[in-house]
């Protein structure tokens, strides 16, 4: 099987689809690896590290798509890349079709490809291995990001998260009760923040309470409670995740306007459209902007800031599926592996996720 890895640096993406370690495992099993020159540089991997493990370096995306049966990308395909896709190829990556352009989706359908989204692959327990692994990183990053932008020099409120003797800690309000919320809550509690989580699933809120031995305050995410809690938030984290679907709008502009000026808002759902009315995508080069006096951090590929750790996690997870496909073929794998099958957006010239088909008015 021919496996290709594209260089995504032009899309302000620092992560890479495969690490040299994974390349060595796949090479041992007789697969041919085509890695676009520079694909691993921002994750700390030189071209020579790939070739030493058996990969072939190619110099254009056209070569990667032209030679590969399977193509690995991290961030969603842009229009140029979608045009390069060949008929019957298998595409792995964060595709986020819920917020993709209809033209790209129709192009992929016409080419009869199999599109597998990391963000919707599930394991036997119903959890999302790619998202859950990156969520551990994102939770820790929320702590670093909010701590930095709360500083006076960054136009923040000028407070420390954990507080000190005679000064109370910062209040962190987290919207959502799933994987992202759990990770963010653990990080904030660990730093000493007064942490409040609002969600709509009572069983998950109960799990969060048990996990933190009751140190976490939980509320039902009604409009009334959301409006009350945003007013007291020094840090507001949108951690709403609906796998494969557009994120619901939870925080209105009026709620943002009611927050204390210089507070920090991190929208972790921005990859899927965002859950805050004032959110718009930013980049790692220009990660923040101010709206209603609130510092917004809305970077879609947030874990790209720690690209080496993130690349290792993603590479380790996808390699097991690549080995399986190489041994059995994609049809048999999808038939016998419901976990990977759950991650398929498009197969056999059809969208296989009802919510995505409905969004685009397609079958």
Catalytic machinery residues:
96, 271
Q: How wide is the angle at C-alpha 361 spanned by C-alphas 356 and 363, nearest 5°?
A: 75
Burial letters for 61-86: b for 16+ Cβ neighbours within 10 Å, e otherwise? bebbbebbbbbbbbbbbeeebbebbe
How many angstroms separate the CA atoms of 213 and 175, rounded?
20
Is-contact 146 161, C-beta < 8 A? yes
Max Cα distance, the chain (Å): 65
- In the chain, count of helices (H) and strands (E)? 14, 15
148 Cβ partners below 8 Å, 6+ apart?
A: 154
Is-contact 298 271, C-beta < 8 A? no
Closest by CA position to 137, among listed 178, 175, 187: 187
Is-contact 134 310, C-beta < 8 A? yes
How many angstroms separate the CA atoms of 40 and 7, rounded?
8
228 Cβ partners below 8 Å, 6+ apart?
A: none
20 Cβ partners below 8 Å, 6+ apart?
A: 40, 45, 49, 50, 52, 53, 55
């Amino acid at each position: 099987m021919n496996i290709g890895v594209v260089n995504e640096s032009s899309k302000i993406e620092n992560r890479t689809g495969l690490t040299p370690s994974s390349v060595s495992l796949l090479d041992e099993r007789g697969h041919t690896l085509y890695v676009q020159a520079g694909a691993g540089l921002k994750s700390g991997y030189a071209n020579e590290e790939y070739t030493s493990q058996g990969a072939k370096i190619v110099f254009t995306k056209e070569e990667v798509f032209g030679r590969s049966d399977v193509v690995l990308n991290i961030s969603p395909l842009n229009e140029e890349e979608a045009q390069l896709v060949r008929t019957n190829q298998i595409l792995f990556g964060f595709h986020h079709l819920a917020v993709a352009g209809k033209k790209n989706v129709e192009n992929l359908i016409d080419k009869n490809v199999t599109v597998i989204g990391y963000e919707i692959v599930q394991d036997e327990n119903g959890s999302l291995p790619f998202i859950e692994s990156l969520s551990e990183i994102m939770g820790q990053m929320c702590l670093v990001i909010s701590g930095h932008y709360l500083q006076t020099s960054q136009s923040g409120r000028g407070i420390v998260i954990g507080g000190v003797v005679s000064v109370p800690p910062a209040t962190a309000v987290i919207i959502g009760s799933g994987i992202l919320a759990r990770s963010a809550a653990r990080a904030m509690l660990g730093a000493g923040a007064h942490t409040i989580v609002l969600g709509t699933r009572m069983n998950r809120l109960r799990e969060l309470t048990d996990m933190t031995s009751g140190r976490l305050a939980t509320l039902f995410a009604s409009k009334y409670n959301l409006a009350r809690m945003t007013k007291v938030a020094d840090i507001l984290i949108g951690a709403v995740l609906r796998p494969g679907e557009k994120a619901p709008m939870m925080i209105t502009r009026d709620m943002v306007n009611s927050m204390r000026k210089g507070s920090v808002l991190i929208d972790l759902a921005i990859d899927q459209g965002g859950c805050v009315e004032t959110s718009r995508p930013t980049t790692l080069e220009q990660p923040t902007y101010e709206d209603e006096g609130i510092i917004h951090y809305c970077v879609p590929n947030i874990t790209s800031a720690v690209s080496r750790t993130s690349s290792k996690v993603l590479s380790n997870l996808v390699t097991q599926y690549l080995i399986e496909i190489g041994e059995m073929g994609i049809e048999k794998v999808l038939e016998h592996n419901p976990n990977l099958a759950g991650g398929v957006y498009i197969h056999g010239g059809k969208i296989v996720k009802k919510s995505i088909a409905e969004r685009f008015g397609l079958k």
